[in-house]
Amino acid sequence: MSSKLLSWKQVRERIPLSRTQVTRLEKAGKFPQRLRAGDHPNSRVMWPEDEIDAHVQKLLDKRGS
């Protein structure tokens, strides 16, 4: 498991979706869940790199089916 965490900007470079689209997909269980750096609602958010990579791979595999 990768310990690297990706910022929103890094996630956006890999998956060109809006923040709203990502939030909707997260709530539907179709996108990796974000992590918060603190307890405050405005804390920085990030995503585990390995989960984002797996999500991208799943999309590519689905396209190839």
pLDDT, one tens digit per residue, over 3-44 is 799 999 999 999 999 999 999 999 999 999 999 989 998 899
Residue 35 near residue 48, CB atoms below 8 Å: yes
Reading the block at residue 4, the tokens are 């690297």
Q: Give domain limits for the chain.
A: 5-64
User: So what's the pLDDT on residue 54?
Assistant: 95
Residue 64 banded pLDDT, cuts 50, 70, 90:
confident
What was the pLDDT predicted at 57?
Answer: 94
CA-to-CA distance for 27 and 19, rounded, in angstroms? 12
DSSP state, residue 45: E
Q: For residue 47, report the phi and psi dihedrals to the nearest 5 degrees.
A: -130, 145
How high is the pLDDT of residue 11?
Answer: 97
